[in-house]
Structure 1
Amino acid sequence: MNQYLSDLDTRRFGIVTVKADGFAQEDELAQCFSFCQENQASLLIARIDASKTPLTHAMERAGALLCDTLAYYDLPLSKVPKAPEARASSDAVVVREMVAADHAHVVGISKAAFSGYFGHYHSDPRLNKQDCDDTYVSWCASTLASTDPTNRILVAQDDAGVCGFLTMRLHEDARLELLLSGVDQRATGRGVYRRLIQAGVAFAAEHQLAHVFTSTQISNIAVQKVWCAQGFAPTNYVHTFHKWF
């Protein structure tokens, strides 16, 4: 089990928040609840593998609220014979790594993309919806400001400027995780998101990584279709619970 105080959530919502995952057995839940109480936490955000039904039931008995279920997808790079190429199109969209001059454009796109985004924060009726929007934007902004070389960001650009972004994280086990993404409203329906995913896979191949993985809410069918079209396959599902103290 991994448990820690979430500074980002604590600052955003004004309440001490603990995050936890990796639960293997039921008695770890009691340990986690004790950790929350010792740190005077008001909210626990806990992720539990959907295959661990007894743990799911124990969280429900403890009064936790199921706020979302994440679907995880993986693409082994051994199944990608070469870096995927975007389909030929007269719609000139170029995907490249972000530079400092792109920051304001990416933040602007993220604000629009995450307005009303229905993740686990928005599912909790006790959390302010504007604060929920701002949490994802803050996460994006902190990634932009990070000097950590494991954080990488791609942007899509057309003749009018930056029209999409994708944040990624390099893991020590030769995996690339695709994280936050957004597409400007003016560029919707033009395959920008697909091109960003293809570019992420190409980045992983160029860096000789073994796998690319990503996740989304189980109800987000549209992006899962894009992933499947690129060769990704589902690997596991994870429940997100909120427990208030």
Structure 2
Amino acid sequence: MAWQDVIEATALRAWESRVESERFGCSVERLTAGSESPFPAVREAVLRSDADVIVLRYPAEHVGWFAQLTALQRTAVFADSLVYWRLRAGQGRAPEGAPDLLAVEPAAASVGELVSEIFTAYENHYLANPLFDPADAVAGYQEWALSSAAEGSCLALWDRSTEALVALATLEEGEARTEILLAGVVPGRQGRGLYAHLLKAVEDRTLTRGAADVVISTQGHNTRVQRAWARYGFEPTQTVLTVHLIRSALLPGPGH
């Protein structure tokens, strides 16, 4: 979820997610609580929603909210935690140069293939919802990445020694910052330091644009990549919880 929608937002925001509704075959609404959103406002938004699924995100410091969410006439499913990190552009601890690696803007067809290869086994909040097909979740990643490619906001690492793309980062590039949406290394090349070179390519591009920050987020369970961010110089900024509020009648089980 975009940095400005989570870290900088103060008010409660609700909107229909048409893309997700079409993808999963049920109505999906997004609800995001900002830093100043009180729980009564969240409660009212949930109660008046007609959506089959509400994807709610709220700051993790509200540790008592989940218990209250279970009493709002829906099935509350804890889906994930998102941890947001930030790097001041120009302060990264870049790796030594690698002559065989070249940062390139990949073709759209290559972006789709790389996303499928890198992220098929990655677990995100969609997989917590029994109404959602995991295959559709992967398709969502591909659509997300292709939208970045259409805007010219993708970077890949080309390995000249093997003549292959080995890593991908999809971006959202604003005036103030670059947000890394998806980033990863192909399975056969992981654990060899390529990820740091991918981060350097993004940081270099951010500096060229004159933006101040590089920001990124991931699920809390993904500690391996967070260690890589810490080594590079990123710092943790905020944790956000995701809860799916599902119309109980849609779920299989006794009485449904």
Instruction: Answer whether TM exceeds 0.5 for this pair.
Output: yes
Q: CA deviation at 1:85?
A: 4.4
Relative to structure 1, is the Cα distance of residues 76 and 57 closer, same or farther in structure 2, using a 3 angstrom cutoff?
A: farther
User: 1:85, 1:68 → 2: CA distance?
Assistant: 30
Which of residues 167, 170, 188 in structure 2 aligns to 1:167?
170
SS in 2 for 1:53: coil
Q: CA deviation at 1:64?
A: 1.4
Does 2:31 match 1:26? Answer: no
Q: Which amino acid aligns with 1:135?
A: G
User: 2:102, 2:94 → 1: CA distance?
Assistant: 11
Q: Which amino acid aligns with 2:220?
A: I
User: 1:204, 1:108 → 2: CA distance?
Assistant: 25
Asked if the contact 1:116–1:129 (Cα under 8 Å) also holds between the matched residues in 2, the reply is no
Q: CA deviation at 1:87?
A: 1.6
User: 1:201, 1:58 → 2: CA distance?
Assistant: 41
Gaps in structure 2 of 5+ consecutive residues: 1-11, 248-256
Map of 1:54-69 to 2, 5 A cutoff? 54-62=64-72, 63-69=75-81
- Provide the identity percentage: 25
Q: CA deviation at 1:123?
A: 2.1
**What TM-score, normalized by structure 2, do the two folds share?**
0.82
Map of 1:148-159 to 2, 5 A cutoff? 152-159=153-160
Map of 1:4-153 to 2, 5 A cutoff? 4-23=15-34, 24-37=37-50, 41-62=51-72, 63-77=75-89, 80=91, 85-89=94-98, 92-96=100-104, 98-99=105-106, 102-145=107-150, 147=151, 152-153=153-154
Asked if the contact 1:42–1:244 (Cα under 8 Å) also holds between the matched residues in 2, the reply is yes
Q: Which amino acid aligns with 1:240?
A: T
Match of 2:240 in 1: 238
Match of 2:9 in 1: none
Match of 2:253 in 1: none
Gaps in structure 1 of 5+ consecutive residues: none
User: 1:36, 1:171 → 2: CA distance?
Assistant: 32
Q: CA deviation at 1:25?
A: 0.6
User: 1:85, 1:244 → 2: CA distance?
Assistant: 44
SS in 1 for 2:143: helix
Q: Which amino acid aligns with 2:42?
A: L
Which of residues 144, 159, 184 in structure 1 aligns to 2:186?
184
Q: CA deviation at 1:118?
A: 0.6
Does 2:219 match 1:209? Answer: no
Q: CA deviation at 1:35?
A: 4.8
Give 4+ residue runs of structure 1 displaced > 6 Å after superposition.
none
Q: CA RMSD in A?
A: 2.0
1:176-232 alpha-carbon deviations (Å, 9 max, x no partner): 211112322333233222211111122222222222111001110111011101111
SS in 1 for 2:182: strand
1:97-125 alpha-carbon deviations (Å, 9 max, x no partner): x15xx221221111122213110001223
SS in 1 for 2:49: helix
User: 1:60, 1:215 → 2: CA distance?
Assistant: 27
User: 2:146, 2:97 → 1: CA distance?
Assistant: 33
User: 2:45, 2:59 → 1: CA distance?
Assistant: 16
**What TM-score, normalized by structure 1, do the two folds share?**
0.85
Segment of structure 1 superposing worse, 50-59 or 111-120: 50-59
Asked if the contact 1:84–1:201 (Cα under 8 Å) also holds between the matched residues in 2, the reply is no
